[in-house]
Amino acid sequence: MSNSTRPVLPHDVRIIDTTLRDGSHAMAHRFTETQVRETVRALDAAGIEWIEVSHGDGVGGSSFNYGFSGTDETTLVAAAREEARQARIAVLLVPGIGTVDDLKRAHDAGAEMVRVATHCTEADVSPQHFAAARELGMETAGFLMMAHKTDPEYLAKQARIMVDAGCHAPYVTDSAGALLMHEAKARFEALVAEVGDEAYVGYHGHQNLAFGVANSVIAQEVGVKYIDGSLCALGAGAGNSPTEVLAAVFSRLGIDTGLDAGLLLDAAEEVVRPYLPRWPKMDRNAIVQGWSGVYSSFLLHAERAAERYKVPAHAILRRCGELGYVGGQEDMIIDVALALAEEQAA
DSSP three-state, residue 234? coil
Q: What is the mean pLDDT of residues 43-64?
A: 95
User: Which domains, ranges and CATH numbers included, belong to the chain?
Assistant: 14-275 (3.20.20.70), 297-345 (1.10.8.60)
pLDDT-derived band at 64 (thresholds 50, 70, 90) equals confident
User: Is the pLDDT score of 325 beyond 80?
Assistant: yes
How many CB atoms are located within 10 Å of the residue 135 CB? 11
Is 168 annotated as contributing to ligand binding? no
Q: Is the dihedral of CA 191, 196, 202, 207 positive or negative?
A: positive
Q: Is the pTM of this model over 0.75?
A: yes
Q: What is the mean pLDDT of residues 138-143?
A: 98
User: Is the pLDDT score of 3 beyond 70?
Assistant: no
% the chain with pLDDT above 70:
99
Is 148 annotated as contributing to ligand binding? no
**Tens-digit pLDDT profile for residues 245-294:** 999 999 999 999 999 999 999 999 999 999 998 888 999 999 999 999 99
Catalytic residue among 25, 119, 148, 168: 25
**Tens-digit pLDDT profile for residues 329-341:** 888 999 999 999 9
**Tens-digit pLDDT profile for residues 80-126:** 999 999 999 999 999 999 999 999 999 999 999 999 999 999 999 99
Is 21 annotated as contributing to ligand binding? yes
Mode of pairing for the β-strands spanning 111-119 and 139-145:
parallel
User: Is the pLDDT score of 346 beyond 90?
Assistant: no
The per-residue pLDDT for 1 is 43
The per-residue pLDDT for 66 is 84
Average pLDDT, the chain: 95
Which position has the higher pLDDT, 16 or 345?
16
The per-residue pLDDT for 328 is 79
Q: What is the mean pLDDT of residues 222-230?
A: 98
pLDDT-derived band at 4 (thresholds 50, 70, 90) equals low
CB 187 within 8 A of CB 155: yes
The whole-angstrom separation of Cα 13 and Cα 188 is 14
Is 29 noted as a catalytic residue in this protein? no
Is 175 annotated as contributing to ligand binding? yes
pLDDT-derived band at 327 (thresholds 50, 70, 90) equals confident
Is 200 annotated as contributing to ligand binding? no
Is 275 annotated as contributing to ligand binding? no
As a three-state string, the secondary structure of 28-73 is: CCCCCHHHHHHHHHHHHHCCCCEEEECCCCCCCCCECCCECCCCCH
